[in-house]
């Protein structure tokens, strides 16, 4: 089983790229109950063989499942398995000759039960003192090379890994590489070259190999999302484990606290949305990060268009949950960083932690970003975390985005994990709606209220602050005159303010465009800066009434938002 598991893990990229067709392998795994019917259906729905294989690798979480996949792969595509082994022996014959000898190779093969091949090496040793390992390797047929490769993977995996090292990789301890950061237990992050690209190399002491292996396992699972740091390779020597990762420009902490070093200003809400998108991807794959904090959020190097993305990193404390579980045991004690940990993650608490610990930590990070470096629980952080006393005073009540952010953050920081939104739910919060989505929502609700009068009572309750007593006094005279040409408006009613926005959209003249700016950004900004609580008030009332707004994926949307409910 060891060899099969290692083979599946080490040749991930080649197997994904070269395995076709995939469906017969899926059939075997389904028949053996390695994958569920639901997973089988999901994987088969993918459009390409590569997409199917990526999804299948995500499903292969246990050693048993990887071993079963290896057997299915050998059954359906034996030449691929053999080719990967044969090409290794042929490619590295001279290097193997330098690191191995005939006697030790014969002994290792014999100890693993490969007596026939072992005899071939022993005979060469007896026949001539000038015979080299390379000479014997040249005489092996393909099945024998596959057996030798199997033996090497089991007995000398570090040698195989070293020889498989992509061209252009400069090992960090050779000197001349910049240190990007340091951590506890002699952990260092270097800047290095790998496969003709500049990367970050995280060096971890072998004594901490368990943590390093956890991180590697999770990174291999999470290889296809823009907001999760990209994993390339790993390397082991006598002292350290090296994890080769995508190079970043800075941590989120550095960006927030070292303003003079900023290359460019980034949209804070977009950063938060990307962090939550990365978390949703982790949770979809049944992974709890358990250490979300500003130093574990990286900012990428700018792409060709100058765009920078947020990436979740450092999975050493991550936890892969079983398929049927949404919580985990605290048998190993508290895990995380105290200032950013959810209360239930502490060992003293009786509530079992789960995905909610990441949501809580992300809530703290959200406030940290929007407040320019403050903590959501003030100065007495630990005491306030346990009592649920957050201090969000730097979110301004007259700033539209801050109003929306506070509504979401308060829920993310709830003492009760069950009251926190999931990552996927949080992504649908109005804080992350773009201008079109906000405008669509207000228009849809305005239309809805024309024939569902029962909701008006709830909408107009406690709304004097929303309309600032009389909203007609807070918009420009020109716009008010245009609106009144078509129908009368009551400045005390939220419904009429929503109608004004809807009608302004439908009759957006050049004069209005000159005054407000382009649609939708200009129109939305005009009203939300004057009435910063309007969108949230309307949203909360509609949710209470069972009207659920849901964003559509862009490629499925002729509009951008749909309303469901009674």
| Torsion angle defined by CA atoms of residues 291, 292, 298 and 299, in that order, rounded to the nearest 10 degrees | 180
Q: Are residues 521 and 413 in the same domain?
A: no
Other C-beta atoms within 10 Å of 240: how many?
22
pLDDT tens figures, 371-381: 999 999 999 99
* pLDDT at residue 562 in the model: 61
The pLDDT value given to residue 554 = 46
Return the CATH number at 425.
1.10.510.10
pTM over 0.75: no
The answer to whether residue 59 sits within a structural domain is yes
The answer to the question of residue 81 being in a domain is yes
Q: How many domains does the chain have?
A: 4
- Which CATH number is 492's domain given? 1.20.1440.180
> What are the DSSP calls for 527-541, one per residue?
HHHHSTTHHHHHHHH
SS (H, E, C) 127-190: HCCCCCHHHHHHHCCHHHHHHHHHHHHHHCHHHHHHHCCCCCCCCHHHCCCCEEEECCCCCEEE
Q: Are residues 275 and 421 both part of a single domain?
A: yes
Q: In this structure, are residues 541 and 555 in contact, taking their beta carbons and an 8 Å threshold?
A: no
| pLDDT tens, residue by residue, 157-183 | 667 766 766 555 555 444 556 788 777
- Show the domain range for 327: 250-430
- Provide the 3-class DSSP secondary structure of residue 483: helix
Residue 528 Cα distances to 482, 483, 514, angstroms:
19, 18, 18
Of 231, 246, 261, the residue that ends a domain is 246
Whether 291 is a known active-site residue: answer yes
| Co-location of 260 and 378 in the same domain | yes
355, 423 Cβ separation under 8 angstroms: yes
Residue 167 within a domain: no
Instruction: Give Cβ neighbours of residue 402 (< 8 Å, ≥ 6 apart).
Output: 370, 395, 396, 532
Asked whether residue 254 falls in the same domain as residue 239, the answer is: no
Q: Which two tokens stand for residue 530?
A: 């004057």
What pLDDT does 255 receive? 94
Q: Are residues 113 and 214 in the same domain?
A: no
pLDDT of residue 557: 41
162 domain residue, yes or no: no
* Residues 9 and 148 reside in one and the same domain: yes
- Domain at 184, CATH number: 3.30.200.20
Q: Quick one: 372 and 268 in the same domain?
A: yes
* Residue-level pLDDT at 431: 97
Residue 363 and residue 259 in one domain: yes
In a domain, 337, yes or no: yes
Please check whether residues 263 and 218 belong to one and the same domain: no
Q: What are phi and psi of 191, to 5 degrees?
A: -100, 130
Is 159 part of a structural domain of the chain? no
**Active-site residue, selected from the candidate residues 94, 291, 398, 416:** 291
Domain boundary, last residue among 405, 430, 455: 430
| One domain for residues 346 and 376 | yes
Task: Tell whether 164 is covered by a domain.
Answer: no
pLDDT at 197: 75
The last residue of one of the domains, among 203, 223, 246, is 246
Q: Which residues of the chain have pLDDT under 70?
A: 1-3, 6, 10, 128-129, 153-155, 157-158, 161-162, 164-177, 184-185, 195-196, 206-214, 216-217, 220-223, 323-324, 327, 329-334, 347-350, 550-566
Residues 482 and 410 in one domain: no
Do strands 561-564 and 548-551 pair parallel, antiparallel, or not at all (unpaired)?
Answer: antiparallel
Q: 228 and 149 in one domain?
A: no
What does DSSP say about strands 310-312 and 548-551: parallel, antiparallel, or unpaired?
A: unpaired
- Judge whether 161 lies within some domain: no
Indicate the SS3 state at residue 243: strand
């Amino acid at each position: 089983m060891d060899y099969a598991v290692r083979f599946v893990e080490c040749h991930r990229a080649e197997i994904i790229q070269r395995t076709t067709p995939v469906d017969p392998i899926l059939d075997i795994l389904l028949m053996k109950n390695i994958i569920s019917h639901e997973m089988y259906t999901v994987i088969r729905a993918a459009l390409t063989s590569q997409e199917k294989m990526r999804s299948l690798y995500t499903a292969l979480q246990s050693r048993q499942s990887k071993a079963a996949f290896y057997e299915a792969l050998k059954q359906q595509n034996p030449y691929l398995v053999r080719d990967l082994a044969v090409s290794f022996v042929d490619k590295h014959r001279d290097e193997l000759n330098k690191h191995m000898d005939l006697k030790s190779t014969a002994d290792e093969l014999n100890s693993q039960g490969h007596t026939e091949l072992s005899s071939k090496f022993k005979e060469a040793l007896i026949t001539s003192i000038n015979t080299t390992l390379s000479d014997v390797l040249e005489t092996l047929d393909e099945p024998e090379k596959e057996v030798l490769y199997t033996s090497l993977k089991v007995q000398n995996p570090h040698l195989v890994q070293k020889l498989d090292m992509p061209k252009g990789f400069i090992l960090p301890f050779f000197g001349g590489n910049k240190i990007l950061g340091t951590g506890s237990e002699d952990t260092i992050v270097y800047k290095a070259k790998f496969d003709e690209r500049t990367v970050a190399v995280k060096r971890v002491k072998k004594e901490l190999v368990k943590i390093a292996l956890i991180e590697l396992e999770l990174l291999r699972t999470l290889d296809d999302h823009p907001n999760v740091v990209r994993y390339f390779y790993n390397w082991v020597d006598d002292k350290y484990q090296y994890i080769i990762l995508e190079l970043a420009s800075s941590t989120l902490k550095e960006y927030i606290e070292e303003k003079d070093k900023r290359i460019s200003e980034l949209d804070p809400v977009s950063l938060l949305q990307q962090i939550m998108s990365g978390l949703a991807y982790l949770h979809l794959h049944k992974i709890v990060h358990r250490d979300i904090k500003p130093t574990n959020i990286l900012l990428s190097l700018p792409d060709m268009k100058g765009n920078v993305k947020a990436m979740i990193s450092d999975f050493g404390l991550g936890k892969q949950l079983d398929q049927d579980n949404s919580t985990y045991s605290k048998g190993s004690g508290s895990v995380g960083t105290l200032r950013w940990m959810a209360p239930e993650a502490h060992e003293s608490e009786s509530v079992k932690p789960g995905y909610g610990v990441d949501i809580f930590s992300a809530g703290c990070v959200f406030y940290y970003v929007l407040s320019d470096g403050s903590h959501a629980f003030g100065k007495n952080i630990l005491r306030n975390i346990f009592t649920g006393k957050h201090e969000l005073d730097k979110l301004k009540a007259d700033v539209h985005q801050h109003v929306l952010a506070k509504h979401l953050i308060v829920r993310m920081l709830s003492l009760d994990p069950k009251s926190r939104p999931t990552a996927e739910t949080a992504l649908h919060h109005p804080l992350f709606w773009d201008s079109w989505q906000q405008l669509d929502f207000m228009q849809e609700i305005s239309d809805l209220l024309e024939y569902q009068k029962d909701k008006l009572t709830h909408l107009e309750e406690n709304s004097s602050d929303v309309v600032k007593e009389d909203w007609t006094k807070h918009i420009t005279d020109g716009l008010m005159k245009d609106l009144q040409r078509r129908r009368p408006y009551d400045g005390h009613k939220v419904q009429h303010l929503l109608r004004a926005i809807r009608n302004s959209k439908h009759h957006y003249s050049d004069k209005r465009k000159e005054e407000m700016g382009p649609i939708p950004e200009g129109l939305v900004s005009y009203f939300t800066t004057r009435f910063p609580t309007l969108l949230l008030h309307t949203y909360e009332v509609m949710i209470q009434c069972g009207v659920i707004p849901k964003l559509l994926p862009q490629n499925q949307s002729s509009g951008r938002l749909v309303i469901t409910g009674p």
